[in-house]
Amino acid sequence: MSKFSTQSQSLDDWLLYLESIHPSEIKLGVTRVKSVAQKLGLLNPRGKIIIVGGTNGKGSTCAFLEHLILATGATTGVFSSPHVIRYNERVRINTAELDDHSHVDAMRLIEQQRGDVCLTYFEYNTLVALKLMNDHDVDFLILEVGLGGRLDSTNIVDADLAIITSIDLDHQSWLGDTREQVATEKAGIFRVSQLVVCGEPNPPQTLIDHANSLNCMVSYKGKQFSFKQYKQQSNQQSKQHWSWHSAAINVDSLPATKLPTTNAATALEAFKLLGLSLPHDKLVKVLGSTALPGRLQSISQLPEVVLDVAHNPEAGRYLASWLSSQTQYSRVHCVCAMLGDKDSQSTLSVVEPYINQWYLADLDCHRGAKATQLQPHVDNEKVVGCFDNVSHALLQAQQSADENDLILVFGSFYTVCEVLQQPKYR
């Protein structure tokens, strides 16, 4: 990459360059990236800033909040990661991705200004996102934390509102081996007297203590706000609905969501704290239609194929809960591939009781686990085979499944990406 020309118009060339200029994929800390952001004038945008941290549910919470805000007529910018197929997915302006040239122009400017400051790939991504949002002068900037919070590059700005979606173990080598340690890192996004929404129903004391020490105004799920799911009879059919409660506000008859309802409830509380509101019919429309690629995404029928990026124990528990409610399928076939540094044993063990047949696959990336590494964590009698890639495993599952079966593909963003890159699913 020493011959790389900053005049290149190719986004792919720039992304390869960004991967090459820092020796580490991850280097936590905000000093370096903040110094470059300051040069670029990115630290004090006009719009309100919402930062979203947590172990799981960050992407769906961002999506719910994005669509709720847009329905009021305001404008939004969202920075979310990782992407599933295209790098451009990482920045959305009013839900739309931007073209390659917009990203390249931002990267070129950052390259000119960074001098001898060495930035990681994600730090560059963060600066690009802030630059593009500034260029479009959005009313609300929604930033999804990449890793942890305290030392994540998104934490260079002082947010008007912070959200913690959930707290569980993941990335232990970076964030610690206990929920208390993880919570300390996540709570690092808090600021003095800040509005905070905590969607974690059992927040560790370290998070509570840190919020109190900063005099944050915190809305805790289960205290300041809550939600309840129920079934409602309509035209001789029983449909899933839910209600949301916050302070003196009660909203009933909300529709079943395509993404986890707990994250919709958290987003609604943030929406309220931002001083925004919508009539009931608009709430119903937004909450019922919000979706994201790779989150319980149905891509094929007869048999139905559903993709999910679940890759840690908490996400596995949610997936198991969802599977337990899917009584319409005769059998469940599961294609699974995971990264080698994830807790595959705890993740697979909670899903295992709901799976009739396993199709385990190697994950083709530098941190990918081999299928044989996953095999000890599931019932071996259910294992159809170990495959050299996700596509081969899915093909075998489709050949084995009947029309009334479900094929679930999960384990990583990389797993979902490999399927969605197939021409028939694009």
189-208: per-residue pLDDT in tens? 999 999 999 999 999 999 99
pLDDT at 23 over 80: no
Neighbour order of strands in the sheet with 297-300: 297-300, 304-308, 406-410, 332-336, 357-361, 383-387
CA geometry: angle at 249 spanning 243 and 255, to 5°?
A: 25
What is the distance in angstroms between the CA of the first residue and the CA of the last residue of the chain?
31
Q: State how far Cα 189 lies from the chain centre.
A: 17
Question: What mean pLDDT is reported for the chain?
Answer: 92
pLDDT band at 184 (very low <50, low <70, confident <90, very high): very high
| Predicted local confidence at residue 165, as pLDDT | 96
| Predicted local confidence at residue 263, as pLDDT | 96
Amino acid identity of residue 302, one-letter, is: L
pLDDT at 261 over 50: yes
Q: What is the mean pLDDT of residues 343-370?
A: 93
Q: What is the mean pLDDT of residues 72-99?
A: 96
Do 395 and 341 meet the contact criterion of CB atoms below 8 Å apart? no
pLDDT at 41 over 90: yes
CA-to-CA dists, residue 364 to 125, 391, 424, angstroms: 24, 11, 20
Q: What is the mean pLDDT of residues 124-143?
A: 97
| Predicted local confidence at residue 76, as pLDDT | 98
| Predicted local confidence at residue 232, as pLDDT | 75
CA-to-CA dists, residue 85 to 27, 290, 299, 349, 420, angstroms: 24, 19, 15, 28, 7
| Predicted local confidence at residue 140, as pLDDT | 98
296-315: per-residue pLDDT in tens? 999 999 999 999 999 889 88
For the chain, domains (ranges, CATH) are 11-289 (3.40.1190.10), 297-425 (3.90.190.20)
Stated length of the chain: 426
214-240: per-residue pLDDT in tens? 999 999 999 999 999 988 766 666 688
CB atoms < 10 A from the CB of 385, how many? 14
Separation of alpha carbons 425 and 423, rounded Å: 6
Per the DSSP assignment, residues forming a β-bridge with 410 are 308, 336
HEC letters along 298-315: EEECCCEEEEECCCCHHH
Do 426 and 325 meet the contact criterion of CB atoms below 8 Å apart? no
- Residue 307's contacts (CB-CB under 8 Å, 6 or more residues apart) are 294, 296, 297, 299, 409, 410, 416, 419, 420
pLDDT at 1 over 50: no
pLDDT band at 25 (very low <50, low <70, confident <90, very high): low
| Predicted local confidence at residue 257, as pLDDT | 92
| Predicted local confidence at residue 404, as pLDDT | 96
pLDDT at 173 over 60: no
